[in-house]
A and B are shown apart, each in its own frame.
Chain A
Amino acid sequence: MRFAFKTSYDHDLGLFRDPVQRRWYAGLLAAVLLLPLALPDYLSDVSMVFIYGLCGLSLMVLAGYTGLVSLGHAAFLGIGAYAHVYFVQDLGLPWVVAVALAATLSAASGVLVGLPALRMTGVYLTIATLAFALIIQEAFSRWEHVTHGLKGRPVDKPVIFGVSFASDAAFYFLCLAFLIAGLWLTANILRAPTGRAWVAIRDSEIAAQSMGVHLARYKTTAFAYSAALMGAAGALFAHKIGFLAPDIFSVLLSIQFLLMVVVGGLGSLHGALYGAVFVAMLPVLISEVRDHAPQWAGHLSGLLGKDAGAAIYLTVERFVKQPGLEPGIFGLILVLFILFEPLGIYGRWRKIQLLFSTFPLYKRATFRRQKTYMRSERLR
């Protein structure tokens, strides 16, 4: 068990718990910086993980820390993406200015959604964000001048201050820089009064009001900040996928983002990143399984006899080649996590840490709450 010996209040204000943790993160940073040398083929995938990480961060701030669950965040991603591409390619603005403007525009639409949201609670807010996202998606299809409608529009590689970031490695570092900046800014807010106010709003609005928290202002700020992060991620997302079309920013993408924060672990920045890794890597994993599962199944059941092996091989192959499998697997994983590990990957990691630090005194019942009964949340 490690006990932190604190000698000043600054210790608690800092980003890291103790020097050991700081060294671990420095090591992680070094590993991430050296990745282009070690695994040059995977840079593109890892860049996507970074972009998803930024998206997860955005939704974590809103849903995990402020308690406002949004099923429409793909709309903000789309607004950021289309705005950025329009500013760079149609208006010819410098790249940095375009990203800043895209993030600002996204933040403004976040405020627009946030204002009516002040009057809604719980699941009504979720439904409202869903409706908003569907309206925005339709708007993307109709506003041909900016978005080129259903034809879609191709996106050029980023050129910043005249330097081309087209190569995988350059784009990788660009995404990494954005992610680290996003993490640092968000961590700063969360240890300041604004972050505390957000957590207060999540846990008890009435008590927060009694302590002087102006609900409207902080909820709107949460929406704006979250949308701004999403808008910046949208700019990178546009460059990454190279081609924008309205049906990319669908409800399914929003659900993927929500899956990210739930699976990662609500209420922590680590959760956003674990979730991003999970959601970005899952399709890769699924396609690997798709390619190899029929063989494994065939080999295993070949032990029962050649005919059985062939039959099983064909059945499994027919099963995994189905096009509709991927959303089903996402759904299954989501359901399993909510049933069995509601604290997400980060929660499980903390439990494992506790196991190792208190071994052999660890008790599984530490985390088992007594049986809960439902109380009406309508009167919350």
Chain B
Amino acid sequence: MEPGGGSALDTILQLALNGLAVGCIYGLVALGFVLIYKATELVNFAQGDLLMLGAFVCYMFVVWYGIGYWTAFALAIGIVGGFGAVLDATVLRRVIGQPQFAVVMLTIGLGAMFRSFASLTWGSEIYTLPTPFSARTTRLGGVTVSHEYVAIIVGTVVLCALLYAFFTYSRVGVAMQAASQNQLAAYYMGIPVKRMFSLIWAISAGVAAIAGVLLAPVSLIDINLGFIGLKAFAAAVLGGFGSIPGALVGGVTIGLIELFSGAYLPLGVKDVAAYIVLLLVLAIRPQGMFGTVGRKKV
């Protein structure tokens, strides 16, 4: 998005709004990463591809079958969420106990398979998803407020509030921590570890699907939509890999940094701004903004 004409303040506000919206998407994907990492200590490199699947499923229901946007949205969340749970139960459960990097490779392989599947089922071109907020804008002062962007921000806020409530006021949050630190002990304490992991995967995949559907009108759907996951890594690391609010804060920060560096820094920096931030965070403060550092006790 180009910064709108008008005063410098208008430009800044425009950039801030756009950056906030983009950042919310990054934050949602990062949230998916963090949820899975907190529960199972796996880093899911296929999170971006789950986002892509969510966008495609919604597209399929709206464009191929003529179902209404909101119903399709709900269906997409349900299907991709269910798929996440099935993925955990069939594939990921088998690799528990293997070194972390083997699981990373596994998720990378799964991501490639998802991309192929999408290409086979829906085709390898670029598609548009018609939504109730497409191409509608409001002008507030000198700032063009795109309804799609507002939808993204509102959707993210609502989702995060729901998730926060779920994890704070239910026993799942604590059980999740226990299972991630010492699985055998968690079993002994009566925690249904397998069911919980599947639940976490379902939630994480659902969050990815929501992010995909919210992103679709802005960036158009194609099989490479999932590469946004790489930038979301930066968001997750910046926020602190084990912290849920951190993921969102990190995402918004990265989004803002990207938009502003695109406007004020030389060409090309915008594309790699997220990765530069990632490297700086890892070099200077690896635990990010809200994470904690652990150390093995010998």
Contact = CB atoms under 8 A, between A and B. Distances in A.
A contacting B, Cβ–Cβ less than 8 Å: yes
B41 A128 contact: no
Interface string A195-226: 00000000000100000000000000000000
Interface in A299-338: 319, 322-325, 327-335, 338
Interface string A157-192: 000000000000000000000000000000000000
B112 A330 contact: yes
A6 interface: no
A138 B268 contact: yes
A123 interface: yes
B198 to A, nearest CB: 15
Contacts of A206: 296, 298
B96 A374 contact: yes
B67 interface: no
Interface string A128-153: 10111011001001100000000000
Contacts of B242: 378
Nearest to A206: B298
B183 A324 contact: no
Contacts of A69: 101, 104
Chain B residues touching A, range: 35 or more
From DSSP, what is the main secondary structure of chain A's interface residues?
Answer: helix
B116 A335 contact: no
A123 B99 CA distance: 11
A119 B282 contact: yes
A338 B98 contact: yes
Given A322-B119, A342-B98, A376-B181, A331 B272 contact: no
Interface in B276-298: 276, 278-279, 282-283, 286, 294-298
A55 B230 CA distance: 24
B199 interface: no
Contacts of A119: 282-283, 286
A375 interface: yes
With most chain B CB atoms within 10 A of its CB, the pick from A126, A319, A371, A378 is A378
B40 A374 contact: yes
B112 A328 contact: yes
Interface in B83-125: 91, 94-98, 100-106, 108-113, 115-120, 124
Interface of B: 40-41, 43, 91, 94-98, 100-106, 108-113, 115-120, 124, 180-184, 187, 223, 230, 233-234, 237, 241-242, 267-268, 271-272, 275-276, 278-279, 282-283, 286, 294-298
22 contacts: A116-B279, A123-B100, A127-B233, A127-B278, A131-B279, A134-B272, A141-B268, A142-B267, A206-B298, A258-B105, A324-B223, A325-B119, A331-B112, A331-B113, A335-B91, A338-B98, A338-B106, A376-B41, A376-B180, A376-B181, A376-B294, A379-B295
Given A126-B101, A251-B230, 8 more contacts: A124-B282, A130-B230, A135-B272, A324-B115, A339-B106, A372-B96, A374-B180, A376-B41
